[in-house]
Amino acid sequence: MTYCVGMLIEAGLVMMADTRTNAGVDNISTYRKLHIFDGGEDRFIAIATAGNLSVTQATLSKLEEGVTNAESGEVETLWTVPSLFRAVQLVGSILHDTREQVSHGLEAEGISFGATMLLGGRIGNESLKLYMVYDAGNAIQCHPDTPYLQIGEFKYGKPILDRALDFGTPLNEAVKIGLVSFDSTMRSNLAVGLPIDLVMLRSGAGQQPSYFRVERDDAYFAELSSCWGDKLREAQASIPRPPFVPNGQG
- pLDDT, tens digit, 9 for 90 and up, residues 70-98: 788 889 999 999 999 999 999 999 999 99
- 129 inside domain: yes
**Domain CATH number, residue 126:** 3.60.20.10
Between 35 and 206, whose confidence is greater? Answer: 35
Question: Looking at this protein, which amino acid is placed at residue 14?
Answer: V
Nearest to 90 by CA among 52, 50, 45, 31: 45
Q: How far is the CA of 66 from the CAs of 52, 96, 196, in angstroms? A: 21, 15, 28
pLDDT at 23 over 50: no
The total number of structural domains that make up the chain: 1
pLDDT at 4 over 70: yes
- 47 inside domain: yes
- 106 inside domain: yes
What pLDDT is recorded for position 72?
Answer: 83
- 244 inside domain: no
- 182 inside domain: yes
Which residues on neighbouring strands pair with residue 139, listed in sequence order? Answer: 133
- 37 inside domain: yes
The residue segments making up the domain with residue 108 are: 3-238
- 141 inside domain: yes
- 250 inside domain: no
Nearest to 192 by CA among 222, 237, 155, 227: 155
Query: What is d(CA 8, CA 72) in angstroms, rounded to the nearest whole number?
Result: 33
Q: How far is the CA of 3 from the CAs of 9, 15, 194, in angstroms? A: 20, 11, 11
Give the 3-state secondary structure percentages of the chain, helix then strand then coil, rounded to 5. Answer: 35, 30, 35
Query: What is d(CA 1, CA 18) in angstroms, rounded to the nearest whole number?
Result: 10
